[in-house]
Every structure is written in C-alpha cells, then in structure tokens.
Amino acid sequence: MKRRPVQPDDGEPTDWPGSAQVSDFLTRQLAGRRLAARSCLTYGRSLKGFALWMKSNGGWDGDWSKLTARNLRDFVIERQGTHNRRSVHNQVSALRAFLADLRERGGITTTPAAGLVLPKLPKSLPKFLTEAQTDSLMDAAEDSEKDDPQETARDLAVLELLYGGGLRVSELCGIDGGDLDLGSGLVRLMGKGSKERVVPVGDAAITAVKAYLALRGAPARGEPLLLAARGGRLHPRAVQLMLKRKLAVAGLPADLTPHKLRHACATHLLSNGADLRLVQEQLGHASLSTTQIYTHLSVAKLREVHRKSHPRA
C-alpha cells in the first residue's frame, strides 16, 4: 500500500513554498521509524513556519537550494523576539535535520545551518518526586478507587514499571508479551530512534506485574502487556489521567507527569551511588551529557546535607 504523504496538521493550506520536499522528508522519517508521528508533526510545523517566514521576507519560491546562512541567522534573530529560547532551538533542530537529509539526497550542495549560533538555553533542573513522595504515590495506587481489582493492579504495575525502569510512557505502553522476563526482571524496550535496549525494572515492579497478570492472564507474544479498561493497548494519555487521579489521592502536586517518574528513577539511582554511565544506559540516553543533568540534583542534595551536618557550614 502506498504510504500517504505526511503534512503538518495545523488546519492551514498545504501548498506552501517548499512543501513537497518537506512532506517527502517527513514521510520517509516516519516510514523508517526515525521519528515518532508526534515528532513528525512538530517538525512539519516548524519547517512550514520557516517556509512561510521566508516567503513573507522576500517572496521566496520554495527552492531550498537558494537558502543561505544569512536567511537562517535573520530567522533566529527575529524569532527570539517572539518565541522563547527552547522553541527557537526546537525549530532550528527541525531545520538542521531536514537540510542535512536534503543534502544527503542531493537536493542542496551545502548546509547553510552549519555554524549557526543559537541563544544559550537556561539550565533548569527537572522536577521529580522524592523517595518519600514516590512511596506515597505507590500506596495511593494500591487504594482502589474503582470496583475493578484488575484495573487497580494494572495501575500499580504501570507506576512501578515507570519508576523502577525509568521508562518513557511510550516505551511502557509498547511492552508486549515476551518483552518482560519475570524471572530476571529485565524488559526489552524500543526507545527513541527505534533503538532497542534491555533494562532491569526492580523487584517491586515485577511483583506488581505478576499480581496484575494473575487477574488479567498472561499475554501471548506480540500482544500488549498492559490493557486499557475496554481492551486493547494502554494509551499514554490514559496513563497521564490515571496518574493525575493517584496524585490527588496521595496529596501530591498535580503537575507531576509520568516523565517525572523517569526523572525520579535517575535521581534516586545517582543519589544512592549508581554509576552515571549505567544510569545513561538505563534511560537510553544517546549522550552522557543528557544524563549529567541529574548529577546537579545529587550535588544539590549533598550541599544541603553538608549545610545541615558540617560544623563549619
């Protein structure tokens, strides 16, 4: 079956300058599983926004080979006045990926994004739950809010897997029968960029999954491990809504998301002496620098302990 071209889904016309090459790029990225569907849409919106900006600043005809480094610099400078720095970085990231692909395929001969200087991003530490808060959340998950013991058991298994393995919610929902070895406590995951990794999830998660499967029944290989209330694979949005309810029961901040359990996993591992590179492998980070942000949290904890404990602090 011929794959339908991907276009940014923002309700506006699709016949904008350069749209054909962008659509081809997004379709191939999605087909090759280099980008998730949501990422493709985000890239598409960024590339469309740039193309329309180019058209409004000189009547650009959509010929990507005419693009210059000066165009990109002007775009970044103007965007800084209307968008936050993270948004500017994300838009340029989409442009760089598209232009690199275009050059690889012979659509352009140079990469005008090379050497482009971006505004520095402010360093912000990720929010996460403390160990005590995590315990409170798991206790809340065991308190049934419905009359369905299978759903209650599933909710606890979901939270224990997210925290125990430091999983992304998309990775969690993608676990199939056969991916999780209940004997060894290892789960095989498909992460970003279709990169596979195998990580431990911990005894608490295994115990919770076993309790869930005792009620749900063991899935066949290739079938989803975690089921939605009405059957079928559990969706990330359902996990988010479930977490909101459990946070309310536990009296924890409502702005905590499933990803914060991933942050909590990394932070607690490092705080308790885990090696940074092992945590990198656990989380599936391509670069160690991505994992290093969690060391700031550990250092902050050390500083606080020093302040309270050292006689000359």
- Identify the active-site residue in 246, 260, 263, 285: 285
DSSP letter for 221, please: B
Q: Pairing state of beta strands 180-181 and 186-190?
A: antiparallel
- Identify the active-site residue in 192, 216, 233, 301: 192
Is 192 noted as a catalytic residue in this protein?
yes
- Identify the active-site residue in 188, 259, 296, 301: 259
Q: What is the rounded distance in angstroms from the CA atom of residue 275 to the CA atom of residue 261?
A: 19
Cα separation values, 84 from 16, 74, 77, 293, 297, Å: 25, 16, 12, 21, 25
Q: Find, among 180, 161, 150, the residue nearest to 243 by Cα.
A: 161
Is 294 noted as a catalytic residue in this protein?
yes
Is 262 noted as a catalytic residue in this protein?
yes
Is 230 noted as a catalytic residue in this protein?
no
Is 259 noted as a catalytic residue in this protein?
yes
Q: At what angle do helices 258-271 and 293-309 cross, to 10 degrees?
A: 60
Amino acid of residue 237: R
Is 89 noted as a catalytic residue in this protein?
no
Q: What is the rounded distance in angstroms from the CA atom of residue 135 to the CA atom of residue 130?
A: 9
- Identify the active-site residue in 43, 163, 212, 294: 294
- Identify the active-site residue in 48, 79, 154, 168: 168
What SS3 state is found at 190? strand
Q: Give the Cβ contact number of residue 297 at 10 Å.
A: 19
- Identify the active-site residue in 154, 262, 263, 268: 262
Q: Which residue blocks in 144-292 are alpha helix, DSSP H?
A: 149-165, 169-173, 203-216, 236-250, 258-271, 276-283, 288-291
Which residue numbers are catalytic?
Answer: 168, 192, 259, 262, 285, 294
